[in-house]
């Protein structure tokens, strides 16, 4: 596909024919975790119903009996995973997948076929009902033993958290790798929580071409990227995430970070810094959005 602006020959690039749906990343999952903390922390599960046993949920038969009566003791986010810790050494491990979300679902709410589970939490007179809705069914809810979490491959293999890793550790994590930076940033085993939107945005802000090999990026630039990642993720969390498709917080409100996006989803539109058209190109199987002029480090 050819970009419409600028020298056309310069911007010929291979692109996906279909548009890639964005997935909830660290800021969106953190926003959901915060919404859940506000609503259900310290409350007891009054009822838990699994409405579609075919949804990716373990313990479908005794889901209700295992959860009912447990108290929510903590809500943790690890990478893009949500961990709702319960009393009696239980954790409800949740991944939002592509379209998973928690929605407020009190008695006036009409459940539909995409609401795979329904929960009622209560403490004294404070009552919260939530449905887990997942239209595309890539998300999951699994009940696990809390003390076995660290042995679950999906959790145990996660890399460090981008918001807490030190600059020095970040540089050490990437500087020796032969891999290209874009897929390395998306690799949850290296760093947990970053997906396509924030990888594209932070590489643009750091001036790094997405096809640059990690080992070819100098230390100062990696330090700058570390700073930009932390700043961008914090700003996105304070904006309640990015809604490009259908993500929303537990309050049902869309995020606001989409208005700050500089490259993601802006294929063919002028770069805010230099005016050149933003390119969308498939790199390691995923759409990468970048500016060829501003992202010259390679
Ligand atoms: Zn530019």
pLDDT tens, per residue, the chain with 298 residues? 333 333 333 333 333 445 677 789 999 999 999 999 999 999 999 999 988 765 555 556 688 999 999 999 999 999 999 999 999 999 999 999 888 999 999 888 898 889 999 999 999 999 999 999 998 888 889 899 999 999 999 999 999 999 999 999 999 999 999 999 999 999 999 999 999 999 999 999 999 999 999 999 999 999 999 999 999 999 999 999 998 877 888 888 899 999 899 999 999 999 999 999 999 999 999 999 999 999 998 8
**Which residue's structure tokens are 């802000």?**
205
Q: Catalytic residue positions?
A: 24-25, 80, 286
The Å distance, Cα 288 to ligand 1 centre, comes to: 14
The Å distance, Cα 294 to ligand 1 centre, comes to: 4
The Å distance, Cα 297 to ligand 1 centre, comes to: 12
How far is the C-alpha of 264 from the C-alpha of 249, rounded, in Å?
21
How far is the C-alpha of 158 from the C-alpha of 190, rounded, in Å?
7
Q: Which of 126, 162, 135 is nearest to 248 (CA)?
A: 135
Q: Kindly report the number of other CB atoms within 10 A of residue 126's CB atom.
A: 11
The Å distance, Cα 273 to ligand 1 centre, comes to: 5
Residue-range domain boundaries for the chain: 8-22+159-290, 26-155
CATH classification number, 26-155, choose in 3.20.190.10, 3.40.50.1980, 3.40.50.410, 3.40.50.2300: 3.20.190.10
Question: Residue 57 is encoded by which pair of tokens?
Answer: 């949920």
The Å distance, Cα 227 to ligand 1 centre, comes to: 20
The Å distance, Cα 262 to ligand 1 centre, comes to: 9
The Å distance, Cα 77 to ligand 1 centre, comes to: 34
Would you say 32 and 130 are in contact if contact means Cβ atoms under 8 Å apart?
no
The Å distance, Cα 278 to ligand 1 centre, comes to: 7
Q: Kindly report the number of other CB atoms within 10 A of residue 38's CB atom.
A: 12
The Å distance, Cα 8 to ligand 1 centre, comes to: 16
CATH 1.10.8.50, domain 8-22+159-290, yes or no: yes
Q: Kindly report the number of other CB atoms within 10 A of residue 193's CB atom.
A: 24
Collect contacts of 61-67 with beta carbons under 8 A, ≥24 apart. Answer: 63/117, 63/143, 66/90, 66/143, 67/92, 67/119, 67/143
Question: Residue 201 is encoded by which pair of tokens?
Answer: 């945005």
Would you say 210 and 290 are in contact if contact means Cβ atoms under 8 Å apart?
yes
Q: What is the pLDDT of residue 53?
A: 60
Strand partners, 127: 122
The Å distance, Cα 206 to ligand 1 centre, comes to: 11
């Amino acid at each position: 596909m050819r970009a419409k602006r600028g020298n056309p020959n310069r911007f010929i690039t291979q692109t996906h024919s279909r548009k890639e749906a964005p997935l909830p990343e660290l800021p969106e999952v953190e926003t959901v975790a915060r919404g859940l903390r506000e609503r259900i922390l310290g409350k007891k599960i009054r009822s838990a119903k699994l409405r579609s046993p075919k949804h990716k949920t373990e313990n479908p038969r005794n889901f209700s009996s295992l959860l009912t009566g447990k108290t929510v003791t903590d809500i943790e986010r690890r990478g893009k995973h949500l961990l709702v810790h319960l009393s009696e050494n239980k954790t409800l491990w949740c991944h939002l997948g592509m379209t998973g979300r928690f929605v407020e679902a009190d008695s006036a709410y009409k459940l539909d076929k995409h609401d795979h589970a329904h929960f009622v939490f209560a403490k004294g007179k404070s009552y919260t009902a939530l449905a887990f809705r997942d239209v595309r069914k890539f998300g999951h809810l699994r009940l696990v033993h809390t003390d076995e979490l660290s042995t679950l491959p999906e959790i145990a293999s996660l890399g460090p958290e981008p918001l807490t890793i030190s600059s020095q550790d970040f540089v050490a994590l990437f500087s020796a790798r032969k891999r290209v930076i874009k897929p390395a940033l998306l690799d949850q085993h290296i760093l947990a929580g970053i997906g396509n939107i924030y990888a594209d945005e932070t590489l643009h802000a750091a001036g790094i071409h997405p096809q640059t090999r990690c080992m070819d990026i100098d230390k100062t630039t990696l330090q700058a990227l570390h700073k930009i990642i932390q700043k961008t993720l914090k700003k996105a969390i304070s904006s309640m995430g990015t809604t490009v498709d259908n993500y929303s917080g537990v309050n049902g409100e869309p995020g606001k970070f989409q208005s700050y996006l500089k490259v993601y989803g802006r294929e063919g539109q002028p770069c805010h810094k230099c005016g050149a058209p933003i390119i969308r190109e498939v790199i390691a199987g995923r759409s990468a959005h970048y500016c060829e002029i501003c992202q010259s480090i390679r």
